[in-house]
A = this chain, B = another copy of it.
Amino acid sequence: MATDNTTRARRSRPARQWPSMADVAAMAGVSSQTVSRVANNRQNVDAGTREKVLSAMQSLGYRPNTAARALVTGRFGALGVVSFGMGAHGNARTLGAIADAAREADYSVNFMGVRAQTEAAVRHAFQHLMLQSVDGIVLVESQMLDTPSLRLPPSMPVVVADGDTGHAYPNVDFDQAHGAQSVVSHLLGLGHRTVWHLAGPADSFAARRRAEAWRRTLTDAGAPVPPVAYGDWSARSGYRTGLDLARRPEVTAVFAANDQMAMGLMRALHEAGRSVPGDVSVAGFDDIAEAPYLQPPLTTVHQDFEVVGKHCVALLLDQIEGRTDGPRRRAVEPVLVVRSSTAPPRPGSGTT
């Protein structure tokens, strides 16, 4: 990065290896403009002429040069996605869904992974994408939007997925509050005196919203609010917290902010001799594909990432194509899926 590019760029102009419109035009005996019209599927071309051009394209193996096209149109046919690592299941699924939706709209996806939510890392990602090679950007779960030096130019369309809503950008998100509330209500409804919470990292907006909804649901129900434990979304962090919680006999129900942490949590409880759901009920969030096959099958909140991806692309295309009348926020409703990791508390348990 930022090294001397002399050597790399020293290669002289490469020999033409792709035919251009002019080549096709010459072969078909028309002007290059007509070739352009055929390539862009314009209707005002005679059927016979179109045929000639198409067969010339075919035999020469012509492909339009996107760079030249982008230069003249100012559009790139590409969307940028900034996301924080493929380790998080949700991020990977969201990216896949965005890519699918983008392909439907004939856009390609330029992916920038960012390892850390540090200013430098995010700035680098933005700089790379903002080299004017994308028509818009989807930010997946970023908390960095308010850092002034990272502000994107106002002319760049942006959609934020699964992130903070306290900014001006259009936004697609799960209704985290509703999902978390449904889990906590479910557990309280089973008869638990209260529900403990293993939250995601404090700098994650989704984690904060889940924690807030958990707290509100408890207070609304008049249940005591136990201290919050924080993990980092990993099973490992769930395991560490689980070792702690297992030592507290008053813990009868735990809501983990994602399924991976719930896995670690259940493992720790098992090792400590606390059965799930006999002694402790555990619920997760995400409904990863493996959730039905955990031991026990995990009660969790299902999130439809496909829909999120679709909405992200739709909102972005609205901006790119200048439509301002569409919605600027979309919420996707998560659905509680009750399996076997939650049950009523043992009679007499859970008292302090």
Interface residues of A (CB under 8 A from B): 1-6, 8-9, 11, 13-14, 17-18, 40-43, 61, 63-68, 70-74, 76, 78, 81, 85-87, 92-93, 95-96, 99-100, 103-104, 106, 108-113, 115, 124-125, 127-133, 153, 155, 234-236, 238-239, 260, 263-264, 266-267, 270, 289-290, 292-295, 297, 321-322
Contacts and interface: CB of A to CB of B under 8 A. Distances in A.
Given A74-B14, A235-B290, A41 B87 contact: no
Given A65-B71, A131-B63, A41 B289 contact: no
A78 B236 CA distance: 35
B289 A87 contact: yes
B73 A70 contact: no
Contacts of A236: 289, 292-293
A87 B90 CA distance: 10
Given A43-B4, A234-B289, A266-B295, A99 B70 contact: no
Contacts of A155: 17-18
Nearest to A81: B111
A92 B96 CA distance: 9
A71 B236 CA distance: 48
B103 A96 contact: no
A234 B260 CA distance: 17
